[in-house]
Structure 1
Amino acid sequence: MRVFKDAYIEQIPIKIHMYHTFSKRLRGLMFRKKPLNAEGILLTPCNSIHMFFMYIAIDAVFLDNNDQIVYQKENVKPWTVILPKKNAVSVLELPVGTISTYSLRIGNKLEY
């Protein structure tokens, strides 16, 4: 995954799994017991998430049609709900700490 910030590109060593079907999006990371490690999932279409039946926390990054960050939340705990976000069309569920480690900010454009 690459992050475009102003005039440079930063590589992020995370493998992104695409979840495009209803059943994959619904299940997401439910019942997973091991924390994410150098991997994440892209839920699309999606503008909200639930953490029901989750055992791990995640960082969540909400993207618009141009793959720009429109909302982000660090360390989202199990049994949390993030309501629909305006202009979001997909959500990246990433390992805890990804947002702060790579200084992701609203407006950054991602390429995965």
Structure 2
Amino acid sequence: MRFPMLGRWEDAETGAVLLERLFVAETFWQRFRGLQFAKPLEDNCGLLLRNCRSVHTMWMRFAIDLIFLSEDLQILETRLGVNPWRMVIPKTKGVAHVIEVTAGQKGNLQEGTKTRIIQDTGSPRPVSGRGAGGEVLS
């Protein structure tokens, strides 16, 4: 994957791991390119589009599931099986970040679930601007 590894994504209340490996797209161009021209993501792997409120799937080779998150990483909305060549704007207000996964991986997520990211030591920056490498973000 051409993006830096951020860490692990988990349910903040139960500690259940939602994604073992979460990569991050931080800059405008990283978010714009996203998964264009990429191979499908491996199981238990996702891409966090930081500070992103909508998604396009132009030039993608596979369908994806989208998880729209608030600033504090609560799941606000999901869109499952989004095919290539689509534009997705969430219906829910307050979206701050989006996670993309290969379609069919995360259909069991519930809106309202509070999540957190456990960063790998040495990750450059946390999602919300709080904390440092190795810290729990919620």
TM-score, structure 2 as length reference: 0.71
Q: Pick the structure with greater CA Rg.
A: 2
Who is 2:37 aligned against?
Answer: 31
Q: Deviations over 1:11-55 (max 9, x none)?
A: 1343111111111011000011x2111321100110100001111
Identity of counterpart residues, as a percentage?
33
Q: Any idea what SS the aligned residue of 1:30 has?
A: coil
Count of residue correspondences: 107
Who is 2:102 aligned against?
Answer: 95
1:3 and 2:18 matched? no
Who is 1:79 aligned against?
Answer: 85
Counterpart residue type for residue 92 of structure 1: I
Q: Deviations over 1:61-95 (max 9, x none)?
A: 00001100111111111011112542100000012
Q: Is the 8 A contact 2:58 2:85 kept in 1?
A: yes
Q: Is the 8 A contact 2:62 2:102 kept in 1?
A: no
Work out the CA distance in 2 between the residues paired with 1:20 and 1:109: 22
Of the three residues 47, 53, 69, the one matched with 2:53 is 47
Q: Any idea what SS the aligned residue of 1:26 has?
A: helix
TM-score, structure 1 as length reference: 0.86
Deviation, 1:98, is 2.3
The structure 1 segments of at least 4 consecutive aligned residues displaced by more than 3 Å after TM superposition are none
- Uncovered stretches (5+) of structure 1, i.e. residues with no partner: none
Answer 1 or 2: which has greater helix percent: 1
Work out the CA distance in 2 between the residues paired with 1:95 and 1:78: 12
Work out the CA distance in 2 between the residues paired with 1:63 and 1:31: 25
User: Larger deviation: 47-56 or 34-43?
Assistant: 34-43
1:18 and 2:24 matched? yes
- Uncovered stretches (5+) of structure 2, i.e. residues with no partner: 1-8, 118-138
1:109 and 2:117 matched? no
